[in-house]
Structure 1
Amino acid sequence: MSLRFGIKTAQQHLSYPEILALWQQADAAPAIEHAWIFDHFMPLGAHPEGPCLEGWTLLAALAAQTRRLRLGLLVTGNTYRHPAVLANMAATVDIISGGRLDVGLGAGWYEREHHAYGIPLYPPGERIRRLQEACVMIRRLWKEPVVDFEGKYYQLHQARCEPKPLQQPAPPLLLGGRGEKLMLRVVAEQADIWNSPGDSVELYRHRSQVLDEHCIAIGRDPRTVERSVQLVLNQENPAETRDELREYIAIGATHLVLELRPPLQRDCIQLLVREVIAPLQAEFANESM
């Protein structure tokens, strides 16, 4: 599978005009294939008081202001919205974008945010089982005219999602997570793309092998789950990011996300393409010949 490079602009401490400018610059750069924001209602880290635009409404605006990039949230917290509501939101954004949506989903994790907004944060195992039901239910809503669903955690009675997404049979699902026993089993069952945040190269290699084993156990070809990794672009030393990314590519990562964090250099998109993407594309194209 060929390398697919993208950007992530987590919208904390960034304004809408700043994010839009970055996405439109990326949209004009053919080497960048996809773009992502995150799904949080307040900034992560030590300063939650700063600005943080809501993810899905922002994504709809960015979908309307770009033409080529695939786009999504890396990743949507399943605990934040009922999956049937999310299915309708995603279908709408897929239509707005002209069929460019990748739906990133995760089990949910940020305790401070759940507490602040009064959103239940279930035990880890339950969150993962809820995610599994959500994936099944969302795909059914995208494909079937009327859905009845009786899960342990979610129920639907004559539910509809109209109009359907433009992408058929469905927009791709990217699942983010790294729990080896439960989460990677759900990834094997449901995901088109797997992203494991914050892993070292060795941990990523190990978890990718565990995912292979889960795929084989359920009769799925492991090669049908694309492997995704996310790194922060070092704007002062992009060669460091390029060298780190090379290690993940060498062990099978092909869906490659570079996060752009403020303070942003004025030419950070051009820097990313020139110093990271173009050299790696050339290097691995030569290796495959």
Structure 2
Amino acid sequence: MDFRIFTEPQQGASYDDLLAVAQATERLGFDAFFRSDHYLRMGDGDPDPGPTDAWTTLAGLARETSRIRLGTLVSSVTYRYPGILAIQVAQVDQMSGGRAELGLGTGWFEEEHRAYGIPFPAKRFDLLEEQLEIVTGLWATEPGETYSFHGQHYTLENSPALPKPVQSPLPVLVGGKGARRTPLLAARFASEFNVPFPEPGSIPGLFENVRSACVELGRDPDEIVYSVAQIAVAGANDAEFARRAAAIGREPGELRQNGLAGTTAEVVDKIGALREQGVERVYLQILDLADLDHLDFLAREVVPQL
């Protein structure tokens, strides 16, 4: 299994905070550093230091790391026009030597759109479909040729389709829990399908929906990586676990029920159960970005057993 660190900087983190976590992620042997793409804190608490832009952050990290993959889980189609997004991601891929990945979704947090004057249309799934087609189409256009697209929401005419990413194809992640449209989008465009914070017992069915969509479209289902994202809070003993739970304002019992949480053996068993359900990659959501010892503990005590 691959293990990736997934952060939520909108809850309070500067670029320097994220750099420290990303460099620890690399040093400790994790596969990737991913971050959410949000502009407003969720819930109560001090909003300082304010938001950081996801792709600006990843561009900086591209120059200050050397091995780990870098990406979003996930960028919202409401934030950027697809042509601009394709340029940004391709540039980060170049800056990192071919380590960028794009997670793209419809967006859901209406409050942050109001706070920063970002339009939030009621229907966004068609935007996602067109953006996925445009971004991947721009990257796939042969050098010297141009790309055009005429859709309901976007029109591109004779784009030079530059710059190109280093990777061909650059990995694209689609996630969600929809029964029909989301699996079809994953089958058409994605190299990875992610289930965020799955309900107990739901993972095999959600993965099977994507596999069935691949067969329907004539694609090998095994070409896709199947992943989940879950909060991770672990400790060597109950006291250490409880301390880390308290640091993020969560109850130990609730975390044990809903996340990869508890003592070492508990977390290992929970991840092992995910593997039995077909999970190939796990995004460990880390909420206390100041606790780098937590990352060290996961890398030293949990990952080697899996």
Give aligned pairs, total.
Answer: 274
Cα deviation, 1:179-216, whole Å, max 9, x if unaligned, reads: 11211211111111011112124112221112222112
- Amino acid in structure 1 at the alignment position of 2:302: V
- 2:244 aligned with 1:246, yes or no? no
Q: Corresponding residue for 1:286?
A: none
Q: Corresponding residue for 1:10?
A: 8
Map of 1:78-93 to 2, 5 A cutoff?
78-93=77-92
Distance 1:56 1:211 in 2: 28
Q: Corresponding residue for 2:296?
A: 270
- Amino acid in structure 2 at the alignment position of 1:72: G
Distance 1:106 1:223 in 2: 22
1:234 alignment partner, SS class = strand
1:196 alignment partner, SS class = strand
Distance 1:46 1:161 in 2: 43
Mean CA deviation greater in 228-237 or 150-159: 228-237
Distance 2:44 2:129 in 1: 32
Among residues 34, 42, 62, which one is paired with 1:36 in the alignment? Answer: 34
Distance 1:213 1:8 in 2: 28
Q: Corresponding residue for 2:163?
A: 163
- 2:73 aligned with 1:70, yes or no? no
Map of 1:44-123 to 2, 5 A cutoff?
44-47=42-45, 49-50=47-48, 51-123=50-122
Contact 1:231 1:241 (8 Å CA) reproduced: no
Query: How big is the shift at 1:77?
Result: 0.5
Distance 2:290 2:272 in 1: 23
* TM-score (ref. length: structure 1): 0.89
Among residues 136, 139, 152, which one is paired with 2:133 in the alignment? Answer: 136
Among residues 251, 257, 260, which one is paired with 2:283 in the alignment? Answer: 257
* TM-score (ref. length: structure 2): 0.84
1:233 alignment partner, SS class = strand
Structure 1: gaps spanning 5 or more residues: 281-289
Contact 2:17 2:290 (8 Å CA) reproduced: no
- 2:182 aligned with 1:177, yes or no? no
Distance 1:263 1:22 in 2: 7
Change (3 A) 1:273 1:156: same
Q: Corresponding residue for 2:250?
A: none
Distance 2:19 2:121 in 1: 35
CA RMSD of aligned residues (A): 1.7
Distance 1:52 1:238 in 2: 32
Q: Corresponding residue for 2:185?
A: 186
Contact 1:23 1:66 (8 Å CA) reproduced: yes
Contact 1:10 1:38 (8 Å CA) reproduced: yes
Map of 1:225-236 to 2, 5 A cutoff?
225-235=224-234, 236=241
Structure 2: gaps spanning 5 or more residues: 235-240, 242-261
Cα deviation, 1:59-103, whole Å, max 9, x if unaligned, reads: 111111000001101111111110110000001000000000111
Cα deviation, 1:25-75, whole Å, max 9, x if unaligned, reads: 221223x11110110011223347343211110111111100000110111
Change (3 A) 1:44 1:161: farther
Change (3 A) 1:111 1:160: same
- Amino acid in structure 1 at the alignment position of 2:295: I
- 2:194 aligned with 1:195, yes or no? yes
2:31 alignment partner, SS class = strand
Distance 1:243 1:186 in 2: 32
Contact 1:7 1:258 (8 Å CA) reproduced: yes
